[in-house]
Structure 1
Amino acid sequence: MSYLFNDQASRLREEFASNDTKIISVVSGKGGVGKSIFSVNIAALLASYDKRVLVFDSDAGFANASILLGSSIKHTLSDYMKGIVTFKECIQETRYGVKIVSTGFDYTDWKIFQNNFDGSILNEFLSVTREIDYLIIDVGAGYSEKLNNFYLNSDKIFIVTAPEPTAVVNAYSLLKALSYLGVGSEIEIVLNMTKNKEELDNIKYALENTVKKFLNKDINSFYELSYDPNVPLSVKAQTPIVILKKDSKFSKDMKKIVEDILNLNNSGKEESFANRIKRLFGLEH
């Protein structure tokens, strides 16, 4: 029986050697800038293109992506680690064609999870994600050293910020931290809740010049998400705005971003998806 299990696990990992699943991390320098709203809306839009999407809500202590998708999480990875449920039971379906898994962790749970993320858990995770085109990771606000593996193993990282001084400064600080970490992924800036072109241009100018001066880098690209009074309505309705108000300015801005995601390559990453997932959770260094 043990031999059979090992043989199945080996075949599963070989299957993932050529897997083309894209890993997208969504981060922010501070809370309250619309990071989770951004995550669930790109997930819902990708699903509308018949893409298979799994949202991994890793925001320890503040997981809310499921609420924004109108879904009530029955079981979390915290329950799994306590032996209450199977791994597959932690995967929640939503009515928008998006799957979601929530850590349900507090900060001590996260360390327990990392310490116990062994080969058997990896195989279960791979079994669940074998049919996934996009793994979207909703990362907690601010920079956290314990999440370095998430940053380093993403195909694309979106830094979401807002047009207020503290949010812009924190976005720069996060960008600086990722730069010093040596992240090779495509890093994009998402300017959320912008109200006019002058405001947008001023923030772009400030960030571009600061990054060039102190980090000697160029920002790949900026994306604009217009301020839209329909967003709080969509939150209250627990429905992504790209579904609730498809023709809104916000939804049109989101579509431009998703079109670029659909053209995303694996950034030259040649290693297997299985190895990337192992590194993602700190199982392999």
Structure 2
Amino acid sequence: MRDQAEQLRMKMSGNLGVLGRSIAVVSGKGGVGKSNFTTNFALMLAKLGKKVVVLDMDIGMGNVNILIGRNAQYNLKDYLVGEATLSQVILDGPNNLKYISGGSGLSSVIQWSPPMFNSLVNAFETLQRNFDYILFDMGAGATNWSLDILTSIEEIIVISTTEPTSVTDAYSMMKYIHFRDQNKKFYLVVNRAYSNEEGRETCIRLKNTMLKFLQKEINILGSLPEDPTVRKAVIDQIPFSISYPDSPISKTLDAMVNKFMNYEGEAVYAQDQTTTFLKKLKNIFSKGRV
């Protein structure tokens, strides 16, 4: 293990240059539309000419490939246990989008080993060198290993609905992450709002709660409307941004994507290599967190 840690330190001590922008998409509970948001958000970025890859980090329970109607011969777990290469698990999606499936029908619990974690870091290094945006579709809730990864990622998009339980869980998720890294940049999206007013009020309530109890500012991306085309798209296994580009949710998400791209976080990796995702992961590895 000492040799592996030393190899990793040597590999990551050099100048990595301008890296892709790594963003985690999280929710405090399941059923809020997180994977659907991630998939369509990524597709819109790719449509704008960005090089985008989605990592389905709900290992063993992922569904990104299902949402876009593609079969995945290999998934992230296959790569981590050495049964597939990285190039084999990077799959083609619509709009030149790339994605790595988390797999399905398997246990979502994996036993992390030093070689497995080393493989994960190697994959992330390659992806950051080759893509403009790396979106991590995290499993719902918080586990020790997912919190370690979230601590390393610079930007977090938090998905909530207007339901009180979802709002509470979204706040709890941000609080957990904030306690680990107070410099984390949060973006808030409220999904399935029945009106603009309801969505706006939920955003403001969460923003004010974070400010009052944690003295933490968060960025509001906005709210997405409840839209029947989402269910139709899921059934057809064609993302709504492709099958219903003129629907209310597609138009709202398009504006949200442009708003996100205009945040100053666009250059975060080029400006400060000391806080990059990979270096933070290296620190976790060296401390024996996995």
Q: Distance in 1 between matches of 2:216 and 2:12?
A: 40
Residue in 2 that maps onto 1:276: 277
Are 1:149 and 1:279, in contact at CA under 8 Å, matched by a contact in 2? no
Q: Distance in 1 between matches of 2:11 and 2:150?
A: 28
Are 1:60 and 1:110, in contact at CA under 8 Å, matched by a contact in 2? no
Residue in 1 that maps onto 2:112: 111
Residue in 2 that maps onto 1:206: 205
| Matching of residues 1-285 of structure 1 within 5 Å | 17-104=16-103, 106-109=107-110, 111-112=112-113, 115-118=115-118, 122-123=121-122, 126-127=125-126, 129-263=128-262, 264-267=265-268, 270-271=272-273, 276-277=277-278, 279-280=280-281, 282-284=284-286
1:6-57 per-position Cα deviation (integer Å, ceiling 9, x unaligned): xxxx89985x611230001000010000000010011100110111111010
Aligned to 2:50, what secondary structure does the other structure show?
A: coil
Q: Distance in 1 between matches of 2:250 and 2:222?
A: 13
Give RMSD over aligned pairs: 2.7
Q: Distance in 1 between matches of 2:204 and 2:152?
A: 29
Counterpart amino acid of 2:272?
A: E
Q: Distance in 2 between matches of 1:201 and 1:258?
A: 17
Q: Distance in 1 between matches of 2:234 and 2:54?
A: 17
Are 1:185 and 1:267, in contact at CA under 8 Å, matched by a contact in 2? no
Are 1:87 and 1:125, in contact at CA under 8 Å, matched by a contact in 2? no
Q: Distance in 2 between matches of 1:223 and 1:149?
A: 27
Are 1:153 and 1:280, in contact at CA under 8 Å, matched by a contact in 2? yes
1:96-137 per-position Cα deviation (integer Å, ceiling 9, x unaligned): 31111124373442524x65333x764455445532111000
Are 1:24 and 1:134, in contact at CA under 8 Å, matched by a contact in 2? yes
What are structure 2's unaligned runs of at least 5 residues? 1-9
Aligned to 1:217, what secondary structure does the other structure show?
A: coil
What are structure 1's unaligned runs of at least 5 residues? 1-9
More divergent stretch after superposition (63-72 vs 206-215): 206-215
Aligned to 1:109, what secondary structure does the other structure show?
A: coil
Deviating beyond 6 angstroms after TM superposition, the runs of 4 or more aligned structure 1 residues are: 10-13
Aligned to 1:152, what secondary structure does the other structure show?
A: helix
Are 1:187 and 1:219, in contact at CA under 8 Å, matched by a contact in 2? yes
- Residue 179 of structure 1 deviates from its aligned partner by 1.7
Alignment CA distance shift 1:204-1:80 (3 Å): closer
- Residue 222 of structure 1 deviates from its aligned partner by 4.3
Aligned to 1:32, what secondary structure does the other structure show?
A: coil
- Residue 284 of structure 1 deviates from its aligned partner by 4.7
Q: Distance in 2 between matches of 1:32 and 1:155?
A: 25
TM-score by length of 1: 0.84
More divergent stretch after superposition (231-240 vs 260-269): 260-269
Counterpart amino acid of 1:72?
A: N
Alignment CA distance shift 1:122-1:176 (3 Å): closer
Q: Distance in 2 between matches of 1:212 and 1:272?
A: 27
TM-score by length of 2: 0.83
